[in-house]
Structure 1
Amino acid sequence: MDFSVDDTTAELAGLVREIGERLVTDESLRELDARFGPGTEFGGTDRETARFHARFWDELVRAGVPAALAPERLGGAGLGVEGEALVLRELGRVLAPVPLSPAIRASHLLAATGLTDLAAAVAEGREIAAVADGSSPEVDWAPVADLVLRADGDGLRVADLGSIRVERTVPVDFSCAGVVTGDFGDPAPLPEGAAAFDALRRRVHLAAYQWGVLEAALERTAAYATTRHQFGRPIGSFQAVAARLADGMIDVDAVRLSTLRAAYELDACSDHPGPAARDAVASAHFWACDAGHRLAHSAVHIHGGVGLDRSEPAHRYFLAAKAAEFRLGGATRQLLDLGDVLTTEGDPWEYSA
């Protein structure tokens, strides 16, 4: 299977990395923690107190990143779910708290229902969208959103702030989320398979973000192991520490390969996800959860007490990895999904390219 990246996708991902590394610094994340973080999570209810990196989001919008990942009928670059995954990975590397994933999903869902003007407003950053996950009342990014979408078998429902109420919640990583109640209105018809495709797209986005989180956490931990000395030598030279770092490399690679495979299968199924796509997404989620748990704990253990010190960045990677694990439903949940596909459909990859 060819996971090579075309020049357009590579340039877009590189642009996001450059902007992210310049703007989403440890200092800027500390400032967000002071707004909505440990000890301040109930200090306000408006957008100004949300854990939302507005400057980075504005730069992404100005650079045309959400628009490039929008549907081609809206002027998007046609990079597919694989391109989206590579960009989401860059957000995970810097722990960027911006609503890019719901912007991508909302623009595709709105365009599929024919609401092209609203889809364009979301893709161009003039409106911030949040997308509900099935029937769950908690919706990521709802506290800062201008509209909230809910897609299911009946169609797409779109609610604005005038018809719903959002009560902020406190996820383990202090990310932006809230419980949404109120009237979503009548559904607009969606093409067959669109809601199922969106649910899988969301899961690939989460796995891709986790890939970036784990990759950066491993890099930071390896760097720390070369500078922290005990008994007159760097701790990275100790066999037990080196072995955990080596295992971490294998875990990151497993998340990378399984996430790219899931994105590839979604791009190949033309908006009608079959067993191969569902199987690939469940596999990617298993690795994102299982590897995420292992590597998050390895990073904290190798950092020692510094790993839990709020003045240091390591603890944010631990919280982000654990939050992604919880959002994905845990490794056992993914194995159950995978087993269900294998039981009912057989091995969908037996004749896969």
Structure 2
Amino acid sequence: MDFHIDDTTRELSTLVRTMGEQLVTDDSLRELDARFGPGTEADGGRDHSTARFHARYWDELVRAGVPAALAPESLGGADLGVVGEALVLRELGRVLAPVPLSPAIRAAHLLDLVGGCDPDLAEGIATGRVIAAVADPDSPEVDWAPIAHAYLRPTPEGLIMPAEFDVERTIPVDFSCAGLVTCATVRAERLAEGAAEVDALRRRVHLAAYQWGVIEAALERTAAYASTRHQFGRPIGSFQAVAARLADGSIDVDAVRLSTLRAAFELDACNGEPGAPAHAAVASAHFWACDAGHRLAHTAVHVHGGVGLDRSEPAHRYFLAAKAGEFRLGGATRQLIDLGAVLAENGDPWEYSA
């Protein structure tokens, strides 16, 4: 499969990385932790002031047109595909950016498939001016629900979009913004057949891509620490046991990178009708994101030693983010079960692929 990335997508991901490195600093994340983080759990409901949300970075992403660039063309976007989305989500993961880009993308693509939708709402969500939360059918917890202006729940019967909804805030492993949503029964807007299935697969690719960025940056930071931390008069990175774990981590990051890109390319190629190749690719990407995420999270902590769990240092955030990603993805065993079911029913979907 050709993993060629076009210039527009490459420039967009570079822009997101540059902005993230400038704005989502360790100091800015420490400020968010002080508001809603370890030891300061709040029950603010839908109070934006207590949400772990990097408002400044989100405002800059919106101003730069990043959500719009990933929206469908019918809503004024560039529609860079799932590959473009994955590469941008990777950049968010690298800096642990707490911003609601994934639900903005998912909501825009869902609304693109709904006839007669409020055009102002669709345009607001596509550009990021209206924050959206999109439910996952496999989890009662909805990411970004506490600060969302709009709530969407895709189902096989259609898209549920209540005008009003209540949120009970939850406390995920990484202290991210999430909650349980309740709303009155409302009519479901008609969706194209298979749209809910595509959205579920898109969400899984987004999670894997974010996890890719998390473990990639965690490994880089850990390798840098191992080269400067001295023990017995030598950098600990020169010890064989430490060097071997870092080398294994590099292989794991590559596995997540390749499997995530494969899943994104397969989802783009299915034209809204995902078959065995797309399902197998997504399950494979999820397996690696869970398995590698688990290993890299523990490698980072072990190599950092006590510093890895010190809340005054940034390493612990990468540990929490990687573990949260593993849990949100459902764990490695679940992905192998999904992949096994695809193979048992369809055989090897890539047996004759180039």
The equivalent residue for 2:92 is 91
Checking the alignment, whether the CA contact within 8 Å between 1:108 and 1:119 is kept in structure 2 is no
Partner in structure 2 of residue 154 of structure 1: 157
Give 5+ residue unaligned stretches, structure 1: none
Distance in structure 1 (CA, Å) of the matches to 2:283 and 2:215: 18
Offset at residue 137 of structure 1 (A) = 2.4
Q: Is the 8 A contact 1:86 1:208 kept in 2?
A: yes
The number of residue pairs the alignment matches comes to 351
Aligned to 1:248: 249
Aligned equivalent of 2:18: 18
SS of residue paired to 1:341:
helix
What's the TM-score once normalised by structure 1's chain length?
A: 0.98
Amino acid at match of 1:300: V
| 2:265 is aligned with 1:264 | yes
Q: Tell me the C-alpha RMSD between the 2 structures.
A: 1.0
The secondary structure found in structure 2 opposite 1:159 is coil
2:145 to 139, 142, 162: 142
User: For the Cα contact (< 8 Å) 1:69–1:77, is it kept in 2?
Assistant: yes
Per-residue CA shift, 1:58-85, capped at 9, x if unaligned?
A: 0000000000000011122131000000
Say which of 127, 131, 134 aligns to 2:134. Answer: 131
Q: How many angstroms does 1:43 deviate by?
A: 5.5
**1:133 offset after TM fit, Å?**
0.2
Q: Distance in 1 between the 2:195 and 2:58 partners?
A: 27
Q: 2:209 is matched with which residue?
A: 208
Deviations 1:110-163 (A, max 9, x none): 111032432211011221000000153210000000011000100101123x3x
SS of aligned partner of 1:166: strand
TM-score (norm 2): 0.98
- Where in structure 2 are the equivalents of 1:24-63 lying within 5 Å? 24-42=24-42, 44-45=44-45, 46-63=47-64
Q: Distance in 2 between matches of 1:126 and 1:184?
A: 26
Equivalent residue, structure 2, for 1:311: 312
- Letter matched to residue 49 of structure 1: T
**Alpha-carbon contact 2:301-2:308 (below 8 Å) kept:** yes
Are residues 1:107 and 2:108 paired?
yes
Aligned twin of 1:224:
225
Task: Kindly indicate whether the alpha-carbon contact (under 8 Å) linking 2:152 and 2:161 is maintained by their aligned counterparts in 1.
Answer: yes
Cα separation, 1, equivalents of 2:223 and 2:82: 30
CA distance in 1 between counterparts of 2:92 and 2:180 reads 24
SS in 2 for 1:123: helix
Query: Could you tell me which residue of structure 1 aligns to residue 3 of structure 2?
Result: 3
Q: Percent identity?
A: 78
Superposed, 1:156-175 pairs within 5 Å as: 156-160=159-163, 162=164, 164-175=165-176
